[in-house]
Amino acid sequence: MQKIDLTNKNVFITGTSGFIGFFLAKRLLEEVEGIHIIGLDNMNDYYDVSLKEWRLKELSVYDNYTFIKGNLADKECINKIFEEYKPSVVVNLAAQAGVRYSITNPDAYIESNIIGFYNILEACRYNMPEHLVYASSSSVYGGNKKVPFSTNDKVDNPVSLYAATKKSDELLAHSYSKLYNIPSTGLRFFTVYGPAGRPDMAYFGFTNKLINGDKIQIFNYGNCKRDFTYIDDIVEGIIRVMQGAPEQKLGEDGLPLTPYAVYNIGNSNPENLLDFVNILQEELVRAGVLPEDYDFEAHKELVPMQLGDVPVTYADTSALERDYGFKPSTPLRDGLRKFAEWYKEFYNK
C-alpha cells in the first residue's frame, strides 16, 4: 500500500453538496492542515434543493474550499478542473442515487454514473492523481443469497439499473487502473444514514410522512434486513482509504500489476426493518419531533417487495479491517437519535 499524506494537498471531491460528500469535505477541512478541497455538484432537484443549499452554505465558510457548480457528464468542465487544480487525490461521490428512481428515470443514471465516471477516469489518465477513490454500492450484490456479502463474491446479477451502473464503474476503474497504472479504490457503501441525510432514504422519508399524518409503507411485509451504516463511520472509512492507495508495482513479467481494490463499508449488523421503524419512532418521540401519544400503528402499512429491491444487505468488512484497521460500529439507536435531534433543529418542528 502506498501511503498518502493529505497535508497541503489539492483534493477534488465530487458531490460535495450531497450527503456523504458534505460530511467528508467538512471533516477534511476541519482536520487536515493546508488541505484545499475543490468541490463539484450540479445541485439537481432529485430531492429538496434547500438541503443541498444548506450543506453548501455550511462549507462556504472555509477559505480552503472552492465550489464549482457543474455536471460530471460535462467533459470540458471536468478536464478544466483537473488542469487547473491538478488534484493529488480524487474522490468521486457524485452519482444519481436511488434504486426505485432508476426504474422511472434511467437516463439520469447513464449520464451521471456511466458517462460522468468515464469523464473522471479520462481526466485521471492524463493528470495522474496519487489515488482515485470512488463510491460503489452494496446494491451490486443484487440477489446474492450468501451472507455476509464479501468483495470476493461474484456480482453478476444486478436487480436494478442503479446497481448495474455501480458495477460498471468498478469494471471501468479496473480497466483504467490496468491500462494506465492509476491507483483506484472502490467503496461499496451499505445503507448510509444520519443527520442531514437524503430525504429519499427510508428513515428520512418515513419521518416526513409521519409528520404529515401519511402512512408509511414497509416493504416485503417487514421481512427486510438492512446493514445501516452511520455517516461518521462512512467518512472515517473514506479518509483512511484516501491515505492508502493500492501499490503501483511490476509483476514477474515486467508489466505493471493492476493497482486496484474494492472494499465494503458497512456496520456488519443487519437490522430487521420493523425493528428499525420501532427505534426510529421512539427516537422521534424522544426528540420532540412527534408527540408521545402518536398512533404509529394506524400509520403503518405492510406491503409486498418493490421492484429492484433486495431482501437483505449484510457487509463482510474483514478486508477493510485488515488493511486499514477500521470497522464501522455505531449502534443504530445512537445514529437515529442524532438524526432525530438534527431533524427537530433543522425543521424547527
d(CA 153, CA 183): 22
**DSSP per-residue letters across 271-291:** EEHHHHHHHHHHHHHHTTSS-
Domain extents for the chain? 2-192+229-267+313-330
Could you say which architecture CATH assigns to the domain 2-192+229-267+313-330? 3-Layer(aba) Sandwich (3.40)
pLDDT band at 55 (very low <50, low <70, confident <90, very high): very high
Residue-level pLDDT at 227:
94
Which of 44-48, 155-159, 186-190, 273-277 shows the highest mean pLDDT? 186-190
Helix (H, G, I), strand (E, B) or coil at 130: coil
Q: Which residues belong to the active site?
A: 162
d(CA 149, CA 165): 19
Residue 348 has pLDDT above 80, yes or no: no
- And the C-alpha cell for 95? 452519482
Residue-level pLDDT at 349:
55
Write phi, then psi, for 30 (nearest 5 degrees): -80, -30
State pLDDT tens for residues 143-169. Answer: 888 999 999 999 998 989 999 999 999
Residue-level pLDDT at 175:
97
d(CA 337, CA 343): 10
Q: How many CB atoms are located within 10 Å of the residue 260 CB?
A: 19
State pLDDT tens for residues 289-305. Answer: 999 999 999 999 988 87
Residue-level pLDDT at 308:
67
State pLDDT tens for residues 200-258. Answer: 999 999 999 999 999 998 888 888 899 999 999 999 999 999 999 999 998 888 888 99
Helix (H, G, I), strand (E, B) or coil at 90: strand
